[in-house]
Amino acid sequence: MVAVMAVLAAVVYKIGRDRPAALDPNVPLKVELPAGAEVEDMAMGDGQALLRLRDGAAERLLRIDLATGRVVARYDLVKP
């Protein structure tokens, strides 16, 4: 679990380190999750969030732009 957190933090850092944050703390942000998915973990940095989701046995990552709420990337996690 600690290794997953380290990877999540590194990914969020690398994908957003050159981008300024444009967050307004007074405006609620809505992020649409896939039906049945639950947030297992989250990391934030530089205006983006990386959510680790579990949907049954499947796991995935969603990279979200916090200024717009738009899903920027989806990563399916698979075990070899």
Are 63 and 71 a contacting pair, CB within 8 Å?
yes
Are 7 and 52 a contacting pair, CB within 8 Å?
no
pLDDT score recorded for residue 39 = 93
Higher pLDDT residue, 41 or 6? 41
**pLDDT band for position 22 (50/70/90)?**
low
Domain locations in the chain as residue ranges: 2-21+35-77
CA 38/CA 47 separation, integer angstroms: 22
Phi, psi dihedrals of residue 32, rounded to the nearest 5°: -85, 120
The count of other CB atoms within 10 Å of the CB of residue 70 is 11
pLDDT score recorded for residue 2 = 55
pLDDT mean over 23-32: 72
Report the mean per-residue pLDDT for the chain. Answer: 79
pLDDT digits (tens, 9 = 90+) for 57-78: 899 999 998 888 889 999 999 8
